[in-house]
């Protein structure tokens, strides 16, 4: 097979044409160009595809608030905590007493502590912590256990409340007048 090729000296470019010889694109060049164009249109950033001046949708929902109704919705499946605080677990006179003693390593003195709480009339753990000196005298503790109780009582209560193992409870105060107490008892 013989090819006809004109010698370079004899071939002249046409008038107005460039002197450069144009070669056709190779297949790999066409493929790269096609991939680049496809990526430009398919994976373009949002600012390139959607104009910033177009309609904007607000994703927040409008909530209607009516007078006399709460403006929040309670979480589904959760009941509000009882007004009087949690009830004492089985085997403890004061709610949280067992966990509190266990945190300090004094869980073996639970029975005597329960008896002391009933005798003193303590209803919440804050009352026990406030009179921890009297509790230390009433319990048959070793010297290191007594020191641990006196030094760590408040810290243990605070730590357990922060971890969520104990619910913070307010001290129970007696009613100032008996009429208020009677109205409350008859309304429930």
Q: In 3D, which of 79, 82, 105 has the Cα closest to residue 95?
A: 82
pLDDT digits (tens, 9 = 90+) for 53-81: 555 565 666 666 667 766 666 666 667 66
pTM over 0.75: no
- The dihedral formed by the CA atoms of 64, 68, 73 and 79, expressed in degrees to the nearest 10: -170
Distance separating alpha carbons of residues 43 and 25, to the nearest angstrom = 26
pLDDT digits (tens, 9 = 90+) for 148-183: 999 999 999 999 988 888 888 777 666 566 676 677
**Alpha helix (H) ranges present in the chain?**
27-42, 46-49, 97-103, 110-120, 125-130, 132-138, 143-163, 178-187
DSSP-assigned letters across all residues of 142-161: -HHHHHHHHHHHHHHHHHHH
Residue 149, classified by CB atoms within 10 Å of its CB into exposed (0-12), middle (13-18) or buried (19+), is: buried
Please check the confidence at residue 140 and state whether its pLDDT lies above 50. yes
Cβ atoms of 6 and 12 within 8 Å: the answer is no
- The dihedral formed by the CA atoms of 135, 138, 139 and 144, expressed in degrees to the nearest 10: 70
């Amino acid at each position: 097979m013989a090819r006809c090729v004109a010698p370079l000296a004899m071939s002249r470019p046409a008038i107005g044409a460039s002197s450069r010889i144009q070669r056709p694109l190779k297949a790999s060049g066409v493929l790269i160009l096609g991939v680049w164009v496809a990526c430009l249109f398919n994976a373009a950033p949002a600012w390139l595809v959607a104009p910033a001046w177009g309609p904007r949708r607000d994703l927040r929902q409008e909530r209607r608030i009516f007078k006399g109704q709460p403006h929040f919705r309670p979480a589904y499946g959760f009941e509000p905590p009882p007004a009087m605080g949690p009830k004492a677990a089985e085997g403890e006179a004061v709610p949280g007493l067992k966990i509190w003693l266990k945190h300090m390593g004094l869980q073996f003195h639970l029975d005597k502590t329960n008896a002391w709480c009933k005798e003193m009339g303590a209803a919440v753990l804050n009352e026990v912590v406030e009179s921890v000196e009297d509790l230390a005298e009433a319990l048959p503790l070793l010297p290191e256990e007594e020191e641990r109780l006196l030094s760590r009582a408040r810290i243990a209560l605070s730590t357990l409340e922060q971890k969520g193992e104990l619910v913070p409870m307010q001290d129970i105060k007696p009613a100032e007048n008996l009429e208020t107490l009677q109205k409350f008892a008859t309304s429930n």
